[in-house]
């Protein structure tokens, strides 16, 4: 396209000011947005073409899990006692679970794939001159589309279980949840994809951490139960500092707006906002710091 | 294709400019280290942390003018491919810089970007677009590409994982040689395919060169080098030893190789003499055996 512009852009990284470097790099990424689109389309094509039932299969897994969790946590452990009684009329514990598990499937998948975001494209990265950010961005983009594809299923549940629609949910919680989840996800992917090239065992650690975060982000029980329990105060604060807690509470607040027990606390809210953007900054900084070494290693 | 505006004022000024190019690899340090290793050894107690930088290339400067075909010769591991990667912009130099005025068609790794699960057709569209071809351009050339790659029609819509490695490489070459970028970087890919395909590749490259395009070629085949190149860069021990016409470069390279072989023979003879003493026949490690 505009070789001269791109040429300038790649040169610009040497001229010192940081904002200029970041801005010109962002411009270079923007110029290559088509490539991101191509990679996303390719990944989706491969994923859904694998089997005839493509889409159905990808939905079946989280739904089967939801049933298991509903049985174990709802029926046996009675985690629904953490829900305000009135909320039970608006979809109840099952909707609460589905509204958490569906966004988590795409987030967990992104977390799991992020360490390989650069490695899998090794050959492409070492032959094609493009801003390297686009590879982690493509991974995140694919997961974003996959997330959007879960929405029809979620809506079916909302209708079927009698969930309620609210403007606060639609205009405040849903957009914030989506933006923060993918800002955090992009930062995380930028970070893990490069660090994993240098230290290959990150990948295994990620699997464990995903598990911990799944339980730590109150997907299967209302966070309220933890905050009401008699664990030490500092532990509760620590619990709320997990940015994902706030993000996934937002995902549920979309359908349970107005219940203070089911909306993020102030600490959770702020740590999800600050934490997500901080993750992006850390991720991008790490990415640029390690870029040269990563190119040598790939 | 969009021509780069300000920089390529046709013929005036070089197309590729390298100034004091150097790249450094850290041996031992950071290379493929796992976290476990880091915790065990710590970052301080690395026995050979400093002074273990290895410079495959250093202080390399040259300019390549439009229409030149430059061959890079040298032993294995002297940084020829590294140099090519820096020109391609897929490796960032630690020292100096390289400026390339115009888009680059990288014939480096011909299967790059192919996805095994997609069909040949889908892959052509994907990789072509990745390299900046528009859908229309690919539509127009699709027949040519398939024809050149000698892919039978029934395989066009088969996933690439069922292709033979030869088919994949042929398809890659057919596709990338369709790019109209003004600069071509070629790394050893002419060695692919059978005789008939090779001849076709030669013809394709001749055609591209006739088009006032610039090419940088890394190869161990003297025949290829002499055939295409009008200039040779001889790289020895990570630095540019000679920048002349291709014949002189090859001559210097052959001279050095001969000297090295003679040296090795002498060493082997000495070793054998010693080994005869204590009967230890482990001299099966002759490494560099390139042409």
Q: Report the predicted TM-score, pTM, of the whole model to 2 decimal places.
A: 0.83
pLDDT at B192: 67
Residue B12 — pLDDT band, cuts 50, 70, 90?
low
Contact B7 A45 (CB under 8 A): no
Give CA–CA dist B155/B162, Å, rounded: 9
Taking only the tens place, the pLDDT of each residue in B31-55 is 445 555 555 555 544 444 455 678 8
Residue A45 pLDDT greater than 80, yes or no: yes
Contact (CB, 8 A) for B149 and B114 = no
Contact A34 B85 (CB under 8 A): no
Which residues of chain B lie closer than 8 angstroms to A38, CB-CB?
126, 129-130
ipTM over 0.90: no
Q: Is A289 on the interface with B (CB under 8 A)?
A: no
Taking only the tens place, the pLDDT of each residue in A90-127 is 788 899 999 999 999 999 999 999 999 999 988 888 88
Strand partners, B107: B186
pLDDT at A56: 83
Q: Which of A60-69, B70-79, B192-201 has the lowest mean pLDDT?
A: B192-201
Pairing of strands B183-187, B239-244: unpaired
Residue B289 pLDDT greater than 60, yes or no: no
Of the two residues B286 and A159, the one the predictor is more confident about is: A159
Contact (CB, 8 A) for A176 and A264 = no
Which of B32, B108, B118 is closest, CB to CB, to A127?
Answer: B108
Residue B278 — pLDDT band, cuts 50, 70, 90?
low
CA distance B196 to chain A (A): 26
Q: Is B5 on the interface with A (CB under 8 A)?
A: yes
Give CA–CA dist B109/B106, Å, rounded: 8
Query: What does the pLDDT average to over A189-213?
Result: 91
Taking only the tens place, the pLDDT of each residue in B211-252 is 888 989 888 888 888 888 889 998 888 888 888 888 888 888
Contact (CB, 8 A) for A194 and A291 = yes
Pairing of strands B95-100, B16-26: antiparallel
Give CA–CA dist B20/B60, Å, rounded: 5
Give the chain A residue nearest B26 (alpha carbons).
Answer: A293
Residue B5 — pLDDT band, cuts 50, 70, 90?
very low
Residue A268 — pLDDT band, cuts 50, 70, 90?
very high
Which of B90, B92, B102 is closest, CB to CB, to A127?
Answer: B90
Contact A45 B131 (CB under 8 A): no
Q: Which residues contact B100 (CB under 8 A, 6 or more apart)?
A: A7, B15, B16, B17, B87, B89, B183
Question: DSSP character for A76?
Answer: I
Q: Is A199 on the interface with B (CB under 8 A)?
A: yes
E runs forming strands in A138-209: none
Q: Which of A31-45, A104-118, B21-35 has the lowest mean pLDDT?
A: B21-35
Give CA–CA dist A229/B269, Å, rounded: 82
Sorted by where each begins, the domain ranges of chain A are 57-297
Q: Please give the angle made by the CA atoms of B277, B278 and B281, to the nearest 5 degrees.
A: 105
Start-to-end CA distance of chain A, whole Å, equals: 27
Please name the residues between 256 and 285 in chain B that touch chain A, using a CB distance below 8 Å. Answer: none
Selected for mutation to probe chain B from A38, A128, A134 (highest B CB count within 10 Å) is A128
């Amino acid at each position: 396209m505009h070789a001269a512009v791109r040429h300038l852009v790649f040169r610009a990284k040497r001229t010192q000011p940081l904002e200029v470097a970041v801005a010109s790099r962002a411009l270079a990424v923007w110029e290559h947005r088509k490539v991101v689109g191509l990679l996303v389309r390719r990944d989706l094509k491969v994923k859904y073409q694998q089997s005839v039932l493509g889409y159905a299969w990808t939905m079946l897994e989280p739904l089967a899990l939801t049933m298991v969790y509903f049985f174990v946590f709802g029926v046996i452990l009675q985690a629904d006692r953490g829900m305000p009684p009135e909320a039970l009329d608006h979809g109840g514990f099952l909707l609460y679970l589905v509204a958490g598990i569906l966004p988590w499937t795409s987030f967990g998948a992104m977390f799991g794939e992020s360490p390989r975001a650069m490695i899998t494209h090794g050959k492409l990265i070492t032959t094609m001159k493009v801003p390297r950010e686009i590879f982690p961005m493509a991974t995140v983009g694919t997961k974003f589309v996959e997330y959007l594809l879960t929405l029809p299923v979620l809506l079916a549940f909302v209708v079927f279980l009698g969930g309620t629609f609210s403007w606060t949910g639609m205009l405040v919680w849903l957009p914030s949840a989506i933006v923060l989840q993918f800002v955090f996800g992009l930062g995380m992917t930028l970070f893990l994809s490069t660090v994993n090239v240098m230290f290959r065992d990150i990948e295994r650690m990620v699997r464990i951490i995903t598990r911990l975060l799944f339980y730590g982000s109150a997907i299967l029980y209302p966070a309220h139960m933890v905050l009401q329990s008699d664990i030490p105060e500092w532990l509760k604060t620590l619990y709320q500092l997990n940015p994902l807690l706030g993000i996934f509470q937002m995902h549920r607040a979309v359908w349970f707006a107005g219940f203070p027990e089911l909306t993020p606390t102030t600490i959770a809210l702020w740590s999800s906002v600050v934490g997500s953007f901080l993750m992006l900054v850390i991720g991008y900084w790490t990415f640029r710091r390690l870029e040269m070494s990563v190119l040598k290693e790939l | 294709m969009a021509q780069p505006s300000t920089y390529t004022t046709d013929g005036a000024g070089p197309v590729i400019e390298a100034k004091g190019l150097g790249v450094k690899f850290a041996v031992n340090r950071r290379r493929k280290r796992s976290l476990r290793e880091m915790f065990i050894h710590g970052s301080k107690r690395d026995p050979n942390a400093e002074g273990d930088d290895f410079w495959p290339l250093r202080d390399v400067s040259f300019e390549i003018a439009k229409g030149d075909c430059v061959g890079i010769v040298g032993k294995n591991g002297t940084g020829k491919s590294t140099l090519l990667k820096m020109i391609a912009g897929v490796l960032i130099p630690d020292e100096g810089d390289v400026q390339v005025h115009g888009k680059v068609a990288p014939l480096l790794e011909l299967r790059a970007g192919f996805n095994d699960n997609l069909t040949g057709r889908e892959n052509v569209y994907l990789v072509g677009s990745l390299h900046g071809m528009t859908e229309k351009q690919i539509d127009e050339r699709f027949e040519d590409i398939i024809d050149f790659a000698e892919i039978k029609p029934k395989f066009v819509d088969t996933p690439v994982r069922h292709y033979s490695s030869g088919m994949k490489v042929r398809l890659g070459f057919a596709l990338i040689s369709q790019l109209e970028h003004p600069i071509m970087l070629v790394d050893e890919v002419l060695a692919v395919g059978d005789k008939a395909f090779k001849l076709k590749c030669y013809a394709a490259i001749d055609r591209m060169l006739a088009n006032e395009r610039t090419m940088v070629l890394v190869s161990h085949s003297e025949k290829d080098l002499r055939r295409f190149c009008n200039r040779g860069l001889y790289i020895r021990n990570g630095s540019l030893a000679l920048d002349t016409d291709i014949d002189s470069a090859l001559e210097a390279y052959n001279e050095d190789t001969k000297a090295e072989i003679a040296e090795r023979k002498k060493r082997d003879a000495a070793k054998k003499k010693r080994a005869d003493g204590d009967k230890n026949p482990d001299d099966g490690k002759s490494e560099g055996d390139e042409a």
